[in-house]
Amino acid sequence: MPVFLSTTDAGFEAAFVRLLSAKREDAPDVDAAVAGIIADVRDRGDAAVIELTAKFDRLELTPTTMAFSEAEIDAECAKVFDADRAALELAAERIRAYHTRQMPEDARWTDAAGAEIGWRWGPVDAAGLYVPGGLASYPSSVLMNAIPAKVAGVGRLVICCPTPGGAVNPLVLLAARLSGVDTVYRIGGAQAIAAMAYGTATIRPVDKITGPGNAFVAAAKRRVFGRVGIDMIAGPSEILVIADKDNDPDWIALDLLSQAEHDQSAQSILVTDDAAFGQAVAAAVEERLETLDRRDIAGASWRGYGAVIVTRDLDEAAALSNRVAPEHLELCVADPDALAERITHAGAIFLGRWTPEAIGDYVGGPNHVLPTARSARFSSGLSVMDFLKRTTIAKMTPGALAAIGPAAERLAISESLEAHGLSVRVRLDQLNRDDVT
Amino acid sequence: MPVFLSTTDAGFEAAFVRLLSAKREDAPDVDAAVAGIIADVRDRGDAAVIELTAKFDRLELTPTTMAFSEAEIDAECAKVFDADRAALELAAERIRAYHTRQMPEDARWTDAAGAEIGWRWGPVDAAGLYVPGGLASYPSSVLMNAIPAKVAGVGRLVICCPTPGGAVNPLVLLAARLSGVDTVYRIGGAQAIAAMAYGTATIRPVDKITGPGNAFVAAAKRRVFGRVGIDMIAGPSEILVIADKDNDPDWIALDLLSQAEHDQSAQSILVTDDAAFGQAVAAAVEERLETLDRRDIAGASWRGYGAVIVTRDLDEAAALSNRVAPEHLELCVADPDALAERITHAGAIFLGRWTPEAIGDYVGGPNHVLPTARSARFSSGLSVMDFLKRTTIAKMTPGALAAIGPAAERLAISESLEAHGLSVRVRLDQLNRDDVT
């Protein structure tokens, strides 16, 4: 059974802290193995990638067959049902529209001292997206990673996706095509991350790597960080639903289960100001768990990490949610906008009874790659910003340097950085001479 | 002697790649020691911090004396010369004005389907800044880290700064006060990072940790990443100057030396379209190295990692600079704005002959915490964004759900995520019933 807590219980605070700090994932320590794989790929390039793919994915590749050809992609895309294609196209269009609005603006202005300062944004040259194979090979994640990169203006965009035994999900290739991906490689694991970070004879290196993966992929991303940029290392999915009693318990139960079915380490929490409603939702979850396809996974998640928390009122619910800083937050209440004003930490907020979190996974527009494990306290979901970087700009006129240069010189001297001070001083001296002549 | 290269040399490409890939820093492997320190602080809290401070900083603290009192800060600030205070105040004011312009805007709009989507930004609750002790204890870095945090709206801002033997730089405390820092702790090293990440009885935990430090601090930041957010792990400083022949060689020599004097692992590169000018700058560097206070450090950096590269023209210079992706880039040419258009990767650009990089270290306004080691290819300098996070927003009306919900359901089914699809379906069914009745 999931945890049932009430904020009026004597032991509530301790129980809530236990819930907050429960370790849900025991990632195996594969770091040494991953270090070996990366070294091997750096050393032997294509040959290492081909051998490791034969070993882990039971697939014999050559440098020529590492990437899908256009004809192969055409053939796979042709297998997709029209309704699936239309749904994917709608999702792509909405994600593109949303992320286009995220593009930040350049700025440059002249201040009172006469200095021109500002910044400008530019895309990374090349990005690589990791797409897991098998069960967790989600075409929606291809859209969510690739479209922000293209919107940002990334010049070259590649995917690495393992195809164990040669099996591929046609929807993944269609999503890649709809997103404008240039090349899709049939490789996975730490070897794919190493190849994208360091390059091989066949695979050109990229500047940024994003996308989810297993423990090997996560460890490899940590190791190549610095050589290339990476996105976050995502943990198991989470949802927190704040719901009043005027919801259909079955709707809320399904919302909770839509995270639970991802992974047995996922976490679903209901916070409600009505104890009877909380019980009704828990009963509805049990009923749905009798028939759900993924009932083993969802049931293990709900029993292991699920929780129903009863609060005195909705303000208290918001305060608890902020301590959780959930990846996904649904506000199923009469005035969700008012409640949202009280939310300080959440990856994504879904407002009102007609906004199930699953909308955000596919077609809402916002990104579904979001901060997990309470990291919404300090980090954001994936966006165009992940594929852009900012260059700051400064341009002094002689007058501006005369106005602010002496302060720079003074501070340089106070920090014992003589050359810093002199680099300003020689220019100020020239200005003084110019004035005299 | 530094490397002299010309793009017309037969061996240029190989030599340039060697320059690009030269490993300038051999950080000692302190990870095991750091893991032990972090575990000790998590385990024993204040007692561990106090013991480690006695051991590493030769300073006996109690929980009460861990933080500077207001009276102690007053007394230290009173020691600062008026001219230094005025310079620090000017710097603070300019940094604040620049970073205030960086504040991103919230957005929310209703799209054609009737869905309300958008995002909003909010600050992290608490941030901790690490400030090194001793020689590298720069008051300017306090401003550059603390002011963006305050502009972002961070609620609580603390500093950890070791004071070996009790020695403190009054300018650091004044910079902290000018920036609005709440508390300054006299602790340093991995124990300070652990205390800020996990908290002790005396030190409340923070959500984000920024600021430079030695190998122990860097290793500790890597280890607490995920528990809290961190900024980049900065490497040795770098400058690349693109200069035509119409510069005073001594000015350019001083600009190169202003990075070289930071650290013997720093790197200074001159790229010029005039070989004779390149020689003249190299000669000017040697002359300045005879008298510079930090000539040992600057000389070691220049001889070990310095370079003069002669190009056919300025376009070629820009292309080479983009391959370096330097932390600092000076464009000392007749039309720096035109040349800047060709720059795709740089942490900060300094335009024209009157903008020595040192201006940017102190009073320009832009941040001086910038991406090193070629990471300007994919990352940006410190900004208010480092202390903010974005929450995405989605709100469906019944009509919006009817318009885009079926596509979400279809994609959920294609990904074998039944509960996702059902969470949409039960709501669509309700809408259908509502229509019928």
Q: What DSSP character marks residue A200?
A: -
| β partners of residue B308 | B4, B270
Judged on CB neighbours under 10 Å (0-12, 13-18, 19+), B351 is buried
Residue A434 to chain B, least CA–CA distance (Å): 14
Q: DSSP 3-state assignment of B29?
A: coil
Distances (CA, A) of B294 to A424, B263, B297, B304: 17, 10, 6, 15
CB atoms within 10 A of CB A241: 29
Do B340 and A373 make contact, defined as CB atoms within 8 angstroms?
no
Residues B371, A389: C-beta atoms closer than 8 Å: yes
pLDDT at A328: 98
Cβ distance A346 to B292 less than 8 Å, yes or no, reads no
Residue B434 is predicted with a pLDDT of 87
Contacts of B304 (CB under 8 A, 6+ apart): B24, B264, B265
Token pair of A115 as six digits = 């200095």
Helix A189-198 vs helix A215-224: angle between axes, to the nearest 10 degrees? 20
Known binding-site residues of B for substrate equal 237, 259, 262, 328, 361, 415, 420
Domains A31-103+112-230 and A235-378 belong to one CATH topology: yes
Chain A closest CA to B16's CA: distance in Å? 18
Model pLDDT, residue A437: 60
CB contact under 8 A, A354 and B397: yes
Looking at domain B3-22+235-378, which of 3.40.50.1980, 3.40.50.970, 3.30.390.50, 1.10.3720.10 is its CATH number?
Answer: 3.40.50.1980
Write down the pLDDT at residue B135.
64
**DSSP of A408-421:** HHHHHHHTT-HHHH
**Under an 8 A CB cutoff, do B344 and A381 touch?**
no
Q: Distance, in angstroms, between B84 CA and closest chain A CA?
A: 7
The β-bridge partners of A332 are: A243
CA distance A212 to A218: 8
Contact A349 B375 (CB under 8 A): no
DSSP E strand boundaries for A175-265: 183-185, 208-210, 229-230, 238-243
DSSP A296-356: HHHHHHHHHH-EEEE-SSHHHHHHHHHHH--SEEEEESS-HHHHHTT----SEEEESTT--
What pLDDT, on the 0 to 100 scale, is given for residue B69? Answer: 97
What is A31-103+112-230's CATH superfamily?
Answer: Nitrogenase molybdenum iron protein domain (3.40.50.1980)
Residue B432: is it exposed, middle or buried by C-beta count within 10 angstroms (0-12/13-18/19+)?
Answer: exposed
With CB atoms and an 8 Å threshold, state whether A362 touches B139: no
Cα dihedral A414, A417, A420, A425, rounded to 10, equals 60
Q: Which residue has the tokens 């997990």?
A: A372
Taking the C-alpha atoms of residue B408 and residue A138, their distance in angstroms, rounded to an integer, is 13
What lies within 8 Å, CB to CB, of B75 at 6+ separation is none
Q: A154 to chain B: nearest residue by CA?
A: B378
**Which residue spans within B222-375 are E strands per DSSP?**
229-230, 238-243, 267-272, 307-310, 328-332, 348-351
State the fold for domain A235-378: Rossmann fold (3.40.50)
Determine the 3-state secondary structure of A224 from DSSP: helix
Which conformational region is residue B404 in: left (phi greater than 0), alpha (psi within -120 to 50 degrees), or beta? Answer: alpha
- Partner residue facing A394 (CB), from B360, B376, B389: B360
Residues of chain A with pLDDT under 50: none
CA B46 to chain centre: 29
Find the catalytic residue in A328, A330, A357, A368.
A328
Query: Shortest CB distance from A354 goes to which of B101, B171, B427?
Result: B427
| CB contact at 8 A, A239 and A276 | no
Instruction: For residues B287 and B299, give the distance between their C-alpha atoms in angstroms, rounded to a whole number.
Output: 11
d(C-alpha B178, C-alpha B175), whole Å: 5
Nearest CA of chain B to the CA of A165: how many Å? 20
Q: What share of chain A in percent tops pLDDT 70?
A: 99
What's the gap in Å between the CA of B70 and the closest CA on chain A? 23
Beta bridge partners of B230: B209
DSSP code at position A103: P
Domain spans in chain B, listed from the N-terminal domain onward: 3-22+235-378, 45-113+124-230, 396-436
Nearest to A218 by CA among A242, A236, A198, A203: A236
Which residues of chain B make contact with A258, given a CB cutoff of 8 A? 417, 419-420, 422-423
> Checking DSSP bridges between strand A116-123 and strand A388-395, what pairing results, if any?
antiparallel
Give CA–CA dist B208/B372, Å, rounded: 21
Task: Please give the helix or strand (H or E) that residue B159 lies within, else none.
Answer: strand B156-160
Choose the closest CB to A408 out of B109, B347, B363.
Answer: B363
> Which residue in A117, A257, A362 is closest to B364 by CB distance?
A117
CA-wise closest residue to B146 among B367, B360, B370:
B367
Instruction: Decide the pairing of beta strands B208-210 and B267-272.
Output: unpaired
Beta-carbon separation of A366 and B394 below 8 A: yes
Q: Which residue of B has its CA nearest to A254?
A: B423
Comparing CB atoms, the residue among A124, A254, A359 nearest residue B405 is A359
Nearest to B375 by CA among B266, B257, B238: B238
Neighbours of A388 (CB within 10 A): 23
Nearest CA in chain A to B257: A419
Record: contact B423-A254, CB cut-off 8 A: yes
Planar angle of CA B119, A366, A193, nearest 5 degrees? 120
Nearest chain B residue to A322 by CA distance is: B125
Task: Please list the active-site residues of B.
Answer: 327-328
Pairing of strands B107-110, B116-123: antiparallel
Residue B370: exposure state from Cβ atoms within 10 A (0-12, 13-18, ≥19)? buried
Residues of B in contact with A393 (CB under 8 A): 340, 348-349, 351, 366
Q: If you search the block for the tokens 């110019």, which residue do you land on?
A: A434
Q: Which tokens is A269 given?
A: 């929490």
Q: Which residues pair with A121 in a beta bridge?
A: A390
Please enumerate, by residue number, every residue of B annotated as part of a binding site for Zn(2+).
259, 262, 361, 420
- Residue owning tokens 């393992």: A162
Rounded distance between C-alpha atoms, residue A123 and residue B345, angstroms? 9
The C-alpha atoms of residue A60 and residue A67 are separated, in whole angstroms, by 13
Name the residue among B433, B437, B429 with its Cα closest to residue B409.
B429
Give the Cα separation of A180 and A252 in Å (integer). 37
Residues of A in contact with B139 (CB under 8 A): 411, 414-415
What's the complex ipTM? 0.96
Tens place of pLDDT per residue across chain B (437 aa): 789 999 999 999 999 999 998 877 766 788 899 999 999 999 999 999 999 999 999 999 999 999 999 999 999 999 999 999 999 999 999 999 999 999 999 999 999 999 999 999 999 999 999 999 876 689 999 999 999 999 999 999 999 999 999 989 999 999 999 999 999 999 999 999 999 999 999 999 999 999 998 889 999 998 998 899 999 888 899 999 999 999 999 999 999 999 999 999 999 999 999 999 999 999 999 999 999 999 999 999 999 999 999 999 999 999 999 999 999 999 999 999 999 999 999 999 999 999 999 999 999 999 999 999 999 999 999 999 999 999 999 999 999 999 999 999 999 999 999 999 999 999 999 999 987 66
Burial of B28 from C-beta contacts in 10 A (0-12 / 13-18 / 19+): exposed
Residue numbering of the annotated binding site of A: 130, 191, 214, 237, 259, 262, 328, 361, 415, 420
What pLDDT score does B253 carry? 98
The whole-angstrom separation of Cα B396 and Cα B227 is 33
CATH topology of domain B45-113+124-230: Rossmann fold (3.40.50)
In angstroms, the CA A290 to CA A299 distance is 9
Rounded CA gap, B282 and B222, in Å?
39
- Cβ contact B262–A417 (<8 Å): yes
pLDDT of residue A22: 84
| Residue B82: Cβ within 10 Å count | 7
Name all contacts of B337-344 with Cβ < 8 Å and 24+ positions apart.
B337/A395, B339/B242, B339/B314, B340/A393, B342/B315, B342/B318, B343/A391, B343/B318, B344/A122, B344/A125
The Cα-based distances of A322 to A227, A341, A345, B98, B384 in angstroms read 35, 12, 5, 31, 21
User: A114: which 2 tokens?
Assistant: 């006469």
Which of these is catalytic: A327, A330, A357, A368?
A327
Q: Are B236 and B372 in contact (CB under 8 A)?
A: yes
DSSP state of B105: P
CB atoms within 10 A of CB B315: 12
Closest residue in B to A327 (Cα) is B391
pLDDT by residue (tens digit) across B132-190?
Answer: 987 668 999 999 999 999 999 999 999 999 999 998 999 999 999 999 999 999 999 99
Alpha-carbon distance A375 to nearest alpha carbon in chain B (angstroms): 7
Report which of A276, A16, A294, A10 is spatially closest to residue A135, judged by C-alpha positions.
A294
Q: To the nearest 10°, the Cα dihedral for A406, A409, A410, A411?
A: 120
